[in-house]
Chains A and B, each alone.
Chain A
Amino acid sequence: MKTLVKILKKPITSTLIAVLFGFLVAAIVLILAGYNPIQAFGALFNGIFSKPKYISNVIIKATPIILTGLSVAFAYKTGLFNIGAEGQYIAGTVFSVLVGVKLDLAPVFQIPIVVLAGVLGGALFGGMVGLLKARFGIHEVITSIMLNWIGLYLCNFIVNSEAYHKPNSTASLPVNASSYTMLLPQWKASPEGIAVLKPHQWLYDMLVRTDVNFGILIAIVMVAVIWVLLYRSTKGYELRAVGFNRDAAEFSGINVSRNIIDAMLIAGALSGLAGALAITGTAPHGISTLAAFENNGFNGLSVALIAGSSPVGCVFAGLLFGGLLYGGQSVQQVVGAPTEIINIMIGTIVFFVALTRIVPILADRLGKRGTEHAN
């Protein structure tokens, strides 16, 4: 009994229950629509795990949403709702392109400068939200939503500007090859590289056929950095204190305005980093005209929520999300069911994440009843 209560009280249990419900509801919807859910889920898992290429594509897909998820989760811990991750991500891609197309240095200098440009772009967007909230008391949700659209049109403006437009396309010029953060980008495309890799089908598949890049490592390092910042530093204590109770924090001498601005700067920087790494790490290494949002930021919201705003949880939630998004494409190809079943599934998971926060409370009651019986 006691172990059951203990297991139920772990946050991970609630999340797993939510994921289970996601599959359950998706299965019901599929049956009602006349598809075989077992086939559909089979196609989904095959689309994620059956080839090394697929696995690395899942990781590539997960990298930006782990970072935007981390951005949202971090802001949430400081009491802010960062619905602007989308715009900050776009700003990251735009600023990286602005610098990376014009600058061409040795990779040692080029890569950090291009990535930092993206980080700066995201931080600028985030910081603006923080500043407007701290100085004028304007709700961060409004400014974030507006900045998302400003980011979208900024992107389209740069794509279509003379200096950056790639002729006869809807895209910008790619950044210079010296900014690429893939694994051995030149070597794996060279004849020698292919000769070495060819006998090892597995390696060949994973390296040559996909844009395997360092992004995921940087994302994991950032998760560690944010965790240390939040839970092992004075600054993090201040940030969380402001998030927990603004008045109490102010009363104990913490500069609330300063911390709101800092929190949004950092959150924006993280989303900007996600955008920058997408530019340096994956084809086409440039930005394209956006007709609608690509949801790298909005998916970060879901990732952060599934992760329960835990920085470490974002890695796993991001991988889950990336897997569902990437593997979901095979569902349509194999079974013919609309791909949107994946959106329904993800929506259901998030919905039950909202509901299952009561599992620990129920477990608590269960535990208390258990002890009463024991007495």
Chain B
Amino acid sequence: MLTSILLLVGITMMYSTPLVFGALGGVISERSGVINIGIEGMMTMGALTAASVSYYTGNPWLGFLAAGAAGAAIALLHAIASITFNADQTISGIAINLLGPGFALFFCRLLFDNAAMTPPVKTLPKLFGENAFHGTPAESLNVDVTVLLALIATVVIWFVLYKTKWGLRIRSVGEYPAAADTLGINVTRTRYLCVLMSGVMAGFGGASMTLAIISQFNQTAISGQGFIALAAVIFGKWTPYGAYGACMLFGLAQALTVVLGGSDSSVTLPSQILAMLPYVLTIIVLVLFVGRSVAPKADGVPYEKGER
């Protein structure tokens, strides 16, 4: 029993980590008033970059950082389109979702001899070292170091958004950019920074997939996590802790399907029906406990100076 519970906790952490990074990216961007539907594409770029850099340098930490940079690079496109050119942010985000996987697989084939996957790469360390608690039930708690990083990122972003003047500025830009502008806050610069940061976070999310969970990049490394993260942003009502909780809930549901689907379990549901559980559960929780969520007021609205 204890083993099962610890296993459940471990798997929950594992599944939710890439989602947490992705969702944090979404929260930062949308808090400043830029809808970011392109998290999936940014995560895919991050996933490939992390795996390739780790493979060629042998240093997964360099890979992790490079993934953040790659996410930011592709986020820059989204920022230019939606902030400088006042483009439709949904369309631009969908373009990012096409460009991210497109470029990722294109580069993957160039770098790895026309293969759509990388060889296995060196991964990030476990939280308590490689062989800690080996053979004990607590082994499943020896999670990847990215789990801790995701928690730290959540706390830092919460602190910045709600306890510092920069956070107040970001939120005011997302709610009422004209008023923020009158008070001397540079709306354009704030939004650029936030969108780039969201790219960094999404890139980390991709990296925590390829450098911790599957230890290589392949075509399905990122398949829908970016969209789940997007849902978690709305589910968590555009707050860092809300998004974190939503991702945890989702991870828990995933873990339940793994544990319930195990061979020694007494549940006899077909595996495909079990696999639906996280998605069905999300909808049920939304209906029962969460209900209507309200986006930041200027979310998705380009800011034009002087317009009333």
Chain A interface (Cβ within 8 Å of chain B)?
29, 33, 81, 83, 132, 136-139, 141-143, 145-150, 153-154, 156-157, 160-161, 291-293, 301-302, 305, 338, 340-344, 346-348, 350-351, 353-355, 357-358
Contacts and interface: CB of A to CB of B under 8 A. Distances in A.
A139 B283 contact: no
Nearest to A352: B95
B128 interface: no
Contacts, number: 144
Given A305-B91, A351-B95, 20 more contacts: A33-B110, A132-B286, A136-B286, A138-B290, A138-B291, A141-B231, A149-B278, A153-B275, A291-B220, A292-B220, A302-B94, A338-B105, A340-B106, A344-B99, A344-B102, A347-B96, A347-B97, A348-B99, A354-B85, A358-B87
A351 B293 CA distance: 29
A146 B283 CA distance: 7
A137 B214 CA distance: 37
Nearest to B224: A149
Interface of B: 77, 81-82, 85-88, 90-92, 94-103, 105-106, 109-110, 114, 219-220, 223-224, 227-228, 230-231, 234-235, 270, 272-273, 275-276, 278-280, 282-283, 286-287, 290-293
Contacts of A338: 105-106, 109-110, 114
Contact of B231 (A142, A156, A350): A142
Contact of A358 (B86, B90, B92, B110): B86
Given A132-B287, A146-B283, A305-B91, A355 B85 contact: yes
Given A150-B276, A358-B87, A138 B99 contact: no
Nearest to A336: B114
B141 to A, nearest CB: 28
Main secondary structure of the interface of B (DSSP, over half): helix
Given A81-B90, A136-B286, A141-B234, A347 B276 contact: no
Contacts of B87: 354-355, 357-358
Nearest to B105: A340
A348 B109 contact: no
A142 B234 contact: yes
A350 B98 contact: yes
Contacts of B283: 132, 138, 142-143, 146
Nearest to A306: B91
